C-alpha cells in the first residue's frame, strides 16, 4: 500500500513529540482499507484490537 503525505507528516510530528509510532504491515493494511472505505472505523478499531491481542507476548 502506498505511503501518503499524511503518513509522512504524522510520522514526523510523532518523532518531534518524542513518541515514535511504528506500524506493522497488518496495521498499515487495515488503515489502508479504512482510507479506501472498505471497512468502517468501528471495524478498524475492532480488528486493530484483535491484532494487538494476538501479537502481544504472554
Q: What are the pLDDT digits (tens) for 11-56?
A: 777 778 877 677 889 998 998 899 899 999 999 999 999 998 998 8
pLDDT in the model for residue 20: 67
23-40 per-residue burial string, b: 16 or more CB within 10 A, e: under 16: eeeebeebbebbeeeebe
pTM exceeding 0.75: no
| Residues 9, 17: Cα–Cα separation, whole Å | 12
| Residues 47, 58: Cα–Cα separation, whole Å | 19
List CB contacts of 34: < 8 A, sequence separation 6 or more.
40, 41, 44
Chain Cα centroid distance, residue 28: 5
Amino acid at each position: 500500500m502506498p505511503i501518503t503525505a499524511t503518513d509522512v507528516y504524522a510520522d514526523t510530528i510523532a518523532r518531534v513529540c518524542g513518541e515514535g509510532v511504528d506500524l506493522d504491515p497488518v496495521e498499515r493494511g487495515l488503515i489502508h482499507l479504512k482510507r479506501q472505505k472498505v471497512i468502517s472505523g468501528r471495524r478498524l478499531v475492532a480488528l486493530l484490537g484483535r491484532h494487538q491481542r494476538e501479537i502481544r507476548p504472554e
